[in-house]
Amino acid sequence: MTDNEVQRGLEDVIALESQICFIDGKKGRLLYRGYDIRDLAQYSTFEEVAYLLWNGRLPTADQREALRARLGELRTLPEPVMRIVSEMPQGGNAMDVLRTAVSALGAFTPAETGAASTSVASAERLTAILPAIIGQLHRARQGLPPVAPMTGGSHAAWILHAIRGTPATDLEIRSMDAALILHADHDLNASTFAARVTASTLSDIYSAITSAIGALKGPLHGGANERAMELLEEIGTLDRVEEVVRSKLAHHERIMGFGHRVYKVEDPRATIMREWSRRIGEAKGNLHYYELLRKEEQVVFAEKKLYPNVDLYSGSIYALLDIPKYLFTPIFAASRVSGWTAHVLEEYQDLRLIRPTSRYVGPTDVPYVSIEKRS
């Protein structure tokens, strides 16, 4: 790449240095603060991973329990924000509600809306409260009363409780925990970069996360697992997978859940999610989604040599957890907020306004014509 070469989409452009996340696309490795995602997904919890992202180290047992307690104390949604969530148009995009609620939330935490005063406490508050927003918007649309915040329990259990209002099994909680860990961060994706650009102006963390949610709303970033599930619903039965997938590929339609700009091999998150899709399916006596997706993998690889990414199997897990499709992207945000806030805090530590330039390709020396002479 030469100094004057334009890299569309900033592909392969190194914009900053970070200690948070490393992706080795050739080997299919993903590291958070040096820890392999496979180890974190197998042995850790979301609370531990959030602590790691924010503080640069895994917590002790006491630190983990202290964080879990703080998150439990921060789950109550302010009444005015709850009204905003409940009064948003029914049937609209759930990400609009989430973005608006987070922006409004900043007005009720004035001590945290200046970059100089922002700390890990702000990250904890945002992480704890996003499930309350998601649960409230879902229950309002169902005509159900809000559920009382859980004062104990894990973050994964809280998300399921806020949406469903019923206790979750240990396996359900563990599967949600794994999904949260796998979605917590992914280097300078579009939403994370949006958050860091906003933070680089010395704006507050609520503005930065509002920017991130706005970026995640876009279908080229968030929502792929929704589309992947819609395709499964269109296919219906195992004997139709090959016919439907080959037809779509022949018509140059994109099959969501495959390929990645960074990974040249299988996304390591997809490997883990595939196993959780099977485990949850077996526990619930329903391997329908898993079997369809395995067949879909075979067809797409045979036709296009594309590997699955994290979005292929995550939707099947959420569906088996009785979570509606329109909440899939908000749940992505409920996990990724831990990474977004870690990046915002890192940006504040090494602040430099992010201000790239463009190559101008328009006309020059255009003569001004008075309005009377313009045709």
**Cβ atoms within 10 A of the Cβ of 18, count?**
17
Active-site residue, 161 included: no
How many CA atoms, within 13 angstroms, populate the side-chain half-sphere of residue 142? 16
Strand partners, 32: 21, 35
Distance CA 53, CA 65 (A): 16
Name the strands in the sheet holding 21-24, side by side, starting at the edge strand that comes first in the sequence.
21-24, 29-32, 35-36
Distance CA 247, CA 241 (A): 10
C-beta separation of 184 from 339 below 8 A: yes
User: Among 311, 322, 343, 350, which one carries the catalytic annotation?
Assistant: 311
Phi/psi for 35 (5° steps) reads -90, 135
SS3 158: helix
Active-site residue, 311 included: yes
Active-site residue, 251 included: no
Distance CA 201, CA 196 (A): 9
Tokens linked to 265: 């091999």
User: Among 260, 288, 322, 365, which one carries the catalytic annotation?
Assistant: 260
User: Among 24, 96, 187, 221, which one carries the catalytic annotation?
Assistant: 221
Q: Which residues are catalytic?
A: 221, 260, 311
